């Protein structure tokens, strides 16, 4: 869709604001509706919008698949790591009260950290899954071109 | 007023679901599914579940629609007309009966009714969470932290293990898709020799040496 000027310009204009809104939803989840799940999806949608307009190959250069795939595990590690950090500081697993000088701040920090972990994993999964789906067409076409029918290659 | 709005929204949803089931145009079905998600998100707003509505709008109407569109690119825009074994209305009848049975069970006098203030969920835990979450989560610090959004407090602190499980579910789903559809890193190396076509096998022989070559010659005749 790169030939549509309006779409191209608007997508480029909107993308930073979508990312900003995602960060707002992410870090404002303790005061208003929102949190890691929604923020992750909104964050990913900025990249997906870019990919839809400018093509998957260009989007891959902004969000390399290796980074997205690393993010999938990183988010879970951040979440679980917040729990382990609480244990190391003398609390129970996922008890955030010990993370700061007093329980209130500790809980606040803990909630922000685990929500961040949620956001990272959700955004990374969404981006990676979309790229996988979108890149699938190229894979299928390449396979059709180079397939060796007499070999009886099992279809997928 | 709320009731009328709810009924109107539910009627819209029923019509949308009917249209999704009837249409053979997959693009139309995808768009209608997005509209359906938006409608249920509106219902969630009316039920004061703003966080759930937000999630439904972002995930259901947003990302899911886009992923469906991505999948639609890989297939035809039009579904093949499918002759059902039990006629067109057999499955529909089954679904309607099942739905009616589910609604019927909620009419059981022993079950709490929809929005019942005496329901067990409203009894002890919910008021405690609502009234005390700011104090409890900020325990030992009466003046310090206020986390006004009880949903976030419940989700991330009271139900921290639950949410960790949810994240692991998303992690597993993402990894599953990557493994099944083989996107990205390492997808070329995972294919077994039997799967390779001829050009790749010859390339692999020169690169990987004797053992791979032996495998691929036997593997070529295999599965």
Instruction: List the single residue in B54, B70, B195 with the smallest CB-CB distance to A134.
Output: B70
Query: Across the interface, do A104 and B74 touch by the CB < 8 Å criterion?
Result: no
What is residue B42's predicted lDDT score, i.e. its pLDDT? 94
d(CA B75, CA B72): 5
* pLDDT above 90: residue A79: yes
Please say if the pLDDT value at position A35 is more than 50. yes
Q: Which of A32, A94, A103 sits opposite B161 (nearest CB)?
A: A94
10 Å CB burial of residue B39 (0-12, 13-18, 19+) is buried
Distance (Å, rounded) from C-alpha A119 to C-alpha A106?
20
State the alpha helices, DSSP H only, in A28-102.
Answer: 36-54, 56-62, 65-88
* pLDDT per residue of chain B (223 residues) written in tens, 0 to 9: 788 998 999 999 999 999 998 888 999 999 999 999 999 999 999 988 888 999 999 998 989 998 888 888 888 888 887 777 777 788 889 989 999 999 888 888 777 877 777 777 777 777 777 777 766 665 544 444 567 778 888 888 888 899 999 999 999 999 998 888 865 444 444 444 444 444 444 444 444 444 444 444 443 333 3
Query: Among B47, B48, B44, B23, which Cα is nearest to B33's?
Result: B23
Residue B146's pLDDT is what? 63
Partner-chain residue, chosen from B59, B174, B182, that has the shortest CB–CB distance to A129: B174
pLDDT in tens, B99-130: 999 988 888 877 787 777 777 777 777 777 77
Which residue of chain A has the CA closest to B55?
A: A38
Tens digits of residue pLDDT in A125-153: 999 988 888 877 777 777 777 665 554 44
Tell if the pTM clears 0.90, that is, is over it. Answer: no
Q: Which of A45, A28, A65, A39 is nearest to A120 (CA)?
A: A39
User: A65 and B153: CB-CB below 8 Å?
Assistant: no
Q: Which residue has the higher pLDDT, A117 or B2?
A: A117
**Close Cβ partners of B142 (under 8 Å, ≥ 6 residues apart):** B135
Instruction: Find the angle CA(A43)-CA(A1)-CA(A45) to the nearest 5 degrees.
Output: 10
- On chain B, the residues whose CB falls within 8 A of the CB of A108 are 138, 145, 147
In sequence order, what are the beta bridge partners of B25? B78
Largest CA distance in chain B: 78
SS3 A86: helix
Q: How far apart are CA A106 and CA A27, in angstroms?
A: 16
Is residue B9 within 8 Å of residue B43, measured between CB atoms? yes
Helices (H), B23-112: 26-46, 50-55, 64-72, 89-106
**CA–CA separation, A43 and B64 (whole Å):** 14
Angstroms from A40 CA to nearest CA on chain B: 10
C-alpha neighbours within 13 Å on the C-beta side of residue A15: 17
CA distance B2 to B6: 6
Which helix (H) or strand (E) covers residue A112, if one does?
helix A103-146
ipTM entry = 0.85
Q: Which residues of A touch B59 (CB under 8 A)?
A: 37-38, 41
For chain A, give the longest Cα–Cα distance.
Answer: 71
């Amino acid at each position: 869709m790169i030939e549509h000027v309006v779409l191209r310009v608007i997508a480029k204009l909107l993308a930073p604001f979508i990312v900003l809104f995602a960060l707002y939803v992410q870090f404002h989840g303790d005061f208003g509706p929102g949190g890691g799940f929604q923020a992750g999806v909104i964050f990913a949608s900025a990249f997906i919008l870019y990919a839809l307009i400018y093509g998957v190959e260009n989007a891959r250069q902004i969000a390399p698949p290796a980074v997205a795939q690393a993010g999938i595990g990183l988010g879970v590690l951040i979440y679980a790591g917040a729990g382990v950090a609480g244990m190391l500081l003398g609390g129970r697993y996922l008890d955030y009260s010990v993370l700061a000088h007093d329980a209130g701040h500790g809980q606040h920090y803990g909630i922000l950290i685990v929500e961040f972990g949620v956001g990272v994993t959700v955004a990374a999964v969404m981006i990676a899954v979309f790229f996988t789906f979108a890149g699938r067409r190229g894979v299928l076409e390449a396979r059709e071109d180079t397939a060796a029918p007499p070999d009886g290659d099992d279809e997928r | 007023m709320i009731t009328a709005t709810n009924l109107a929204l539910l009627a819209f949803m029923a019509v949308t679901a009917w249209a999704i089931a009837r249409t053979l145009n997959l693009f139309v079905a995808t768009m209608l599914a997005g509209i359906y998600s938006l409608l249920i998100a509106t219902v969630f707003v009316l039920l004061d579940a703003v966080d759930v509505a937000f999630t439904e709008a972002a995930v259901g109407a947003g990302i899911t629609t886009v992923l469906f569109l991505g999948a639609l690119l890989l297939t035809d825009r039009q579904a093949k007309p499918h002759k059902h074994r039990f006629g067109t209305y057999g499955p529909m009848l089954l679904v309607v009966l099942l739905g009616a049975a589910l609604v019927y069970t909620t009419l059981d006098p022993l079950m709490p009714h929809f929005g019942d203030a005496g329901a067990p969920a409203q009894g002890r835990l919910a008021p405690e969470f609502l009234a005390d979450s700011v104090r409890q989560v900020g325990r030992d610090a009466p003046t310090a932290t206020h986390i006004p959004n009880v949903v976030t407090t419940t989700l991330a602190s009271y139900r921290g293990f639950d949410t960790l499980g949810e994240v692991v579910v998303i992690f597993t789903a993402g990894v599953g898709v990557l493994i099944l559809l083989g996107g990205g890193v390492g997808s070329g190396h995972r294919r077994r020799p039997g799967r390779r076509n001829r050009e790749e096998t010859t390339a692999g022989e020169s690169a990987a040496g004797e053992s791979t070559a032996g495998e691929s010659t036997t593997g070529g005749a295999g599965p």
